[in-house]
Amino acid sequence: MKRPHWLINLLEKGSVGYSSTNPKILNELLNLGLICIRSSGIKRSVAVADHAQLTQWMNANYPEHKLDSDALLTREGNIVRSGSSKVGKSSHETLPFQFKWFGSEYDLWTRLTREYGMAAVLSNRLATLVLPTQWRLLTIENWEPFFRANYTGVSVPTMVAYLGGNVSDTIMNALETFCHPPKTVLHFGDYDWEGLYIFQRLQKTLPSARLYIPENIEVLFRKFGDRKLVEKQKIKLGFDLNNRRCLQVVKLIEETNHGLEQEIVDLPEMEYL
């Protein structure tokens, strides 16, 4: 845990201004008799009463950390610097990228998918992933459709990638690093503001990306649309209401004030890929 700056100054200089201290720590040190409070008119300061004991208390409660926080991974460095993994805008610079691969039966990724259900690589290694020059990418937002996805027998090798409901920038940025970019990109996600926003983020990374919209989307909205999906969602800054790929779904959301869960929609047929 990081040592409070005012305590460091107190040990180095012998006294600090009262207003710079932490009341909780101050009361504990006063009760232990390690410090005292001095007054000069209306000005108060905190002074060391027992330097050796205060040093011992500091070392016990705020031990010097041997790890160099600047040399650690982001989340680990956050913990070392502040004692909390919640500090900072980002946590992990490298994440697992989970996918299924459907191609030749002799292909490594196909064999892994058949044997273990899926494959995975770290996001910082996507650029070195050995892929054919011609392949297709289907990104899926939620776990259930990803788990069910099976495109055995496709004519062109196909990767089905799991993005997760809250796609990190780390994964989005990594999608730009394939040594051979996909021939086509199709996204399958929730049909609400959040789901469309994920697609538009993907589209910025892979401009050729298309949004999968089933032919019976209007019927599905009427039968299974849910107001709760969109009533608490806010349209994110930068969201393009006039995006031509999203326009049909945007109009359905606005007309019905409903959203549609991805799991209600069947997975795209092979010809859509």
CATH value at residue 222: 3.40.1360
pLDDT at 85: 52
Decide: 179 and 168 in contact? Cβ < 8 Å: no
Instruction: Please check whether residues 147 and 253 belong to one and the same domain.
Output: yes
Same domain, 62 and 101: no
Number of domains in the chain: 2
| 210 and 101 within one domain | yes
What are the contacts of 120-124 at 24+ separation with CB within 8 A? 120/96, 121/96, 121/97, 122/94, 122/95, 122/96, 122/97, 123/94, 123/95, 123/96, 123/97, 123/170, 123/171, 123/174, 124/93, 124/94, 124/174
Residues 107 and 213 in one domain: yes
Co-location of 193 and 244 in the same domain: yes
224 and 160, same structural domain? yes
Q: Give which of 33, 31, 32, 35 is closest to 11, Cα–Cα.
A: 35
Name the phi and psi angles at 36, rounded to 5: -145, 160
| pLDDT number for residue 64 | 67
Residue 86, domain member (yes or no): no
Predicted pLDDT at 27: 93
Q: Is residue 90 part of a domain?
A: no
Q: Are residues 148 and 225 in the same domain?
A: yes
pTM above 0.75, yes or no: no
CA 147/CA 160 separation, integer angstroms = 10
Would residue 80 count as lying in a domain? no
Cβ within 8 Å of residue 64, ≥6 positions away: none
Q: What is the model's pLDDT at position 41?
A: 83
Q: What is the mean pLDDT of each run of 10 residues along the chain (273 residues)?
A: 84 90 92 91 90 90 67 62 54 88 94 96 94 96 96 96 90 94 97 96 96 96 94 90 96 96 95 90
Which contacts (CB < 8 Å, 24+ apart) does range 216-221 have? Answer: 217/191, 217/248, 217/249, 217/252, 217/260, 217/265, 218/252, 220/260, 220/264, 220/265, 221/191, 221/252, 221/256, 221/258, 221/260
pLDDT tens profile 186-236: 999 999 999 999 999 999 999 999 999 999 999 999 999 999 999 989 898
Whether 48 and 105 map to the same domain: the answer is: no
For residue 188, being part of any structural domain is answered with yes
Do 148 and 240 belong together in one domain?
Answer: yes
Instruction: List the domain range (segments joined by +) for residue 52.
Output: 5-70
Residue 198 belongs to a domain: yes
Strand 96-102 to strand 119-122: parallel, antiparallel, or no bridges (unpaired)? antiparallel
**Could you identify the residue written with the tokens 């905190």?**
46
Residue 82 domain-assigned (yes or no): no
49 with 159, same domain: the answer is no
- The reported pLDDT for the residue numbered 66 is 59
On whether both 170 and 134 belong to a single domain, the answer is yes
pLDDT, tens digit, for every residue of 76-104?
666 665 555 554 555 678 899 999 999 99
pLDDT for position 148 = 96
pLDDT for position 61? 85
Q: Assess if residue 91 is contained within a domain.
A: no
Backbone torsion region of residue 88, taken as left when φ is above 0, otherwise alpha when ψ lies between -120 and 50, otherwise beta? left
- The answer to whether position 83 is within a domain reads no
